Amino acid sequence: MEKIDTLVVDKVGTLTEGRPKVVAEVPTNEYSGATVLRRAASVERASEHPLADAIVSAARDRSIQTTDVKDFDSPVGKGPLGTVEGNEVLLGNATFLYSRGVDTSSLEAEAERQRGEGATVINMAIDGSLAGILAIADPVKQPTARGAARTSRQRGQGHHAHRRQSDDRSGGGAEAWYPACGSRGSA
């Protein structure tokens, strides 16, 4: 072990609590964060994806009422869609939304920033136009955060620790690498 200088760990449930949470909703100018969260949660209530629970829980925690979804569909590996309050709502990665004619470029810089902080980013469109993004992160367990901070101090001695995120639903399977101690929810 003394010759090892880098440790890479799949973070889900290993370093983290295993309970993803919505850490940001970033609307476009046409919508409020509450509207984005309400419509996303309305669609996600019908989904079985683990990140759907985070979105529905965030709406519930903020006392945001969801409504019924009609015409729900969830193409495998793409994202859910349905009709909420008479409007088509589409959630998923930028590639999926683009394939449906939605331009996500106006929030791409913010999406990249959120990914850089360890979040999974879900794009949302209403009636064919980008409405916002939702950032979801899994908080780091406190003992892990303390260990990561200790490892961070050792970096000057040639030691490195990284978490690997390969479950990013919005990233089309892209893998994100980021320092183990730089996550939301860490101490």
Name the residues annotated as catalytic: 10
What is the number of other CB atoms lying within 10 angstroms of the CB of residue 70?
A: 12
Q: In Å, how far are 82, 102, 143 from 39, measured between CA atoms?
A: 10, 17, 36
Residue 150 DSSP one-character state: H
Q: What gap in Å lies between CA 176 and CA 184, rounded to an integer?
A: 15
Residue 95, both tokens: 């590639």
Torsion of CA 27, 33, 35, 41, to 10 degrees: 100
Measured CA to CA, the distance from residue 48 to residue 52 in angstroms comes to 7
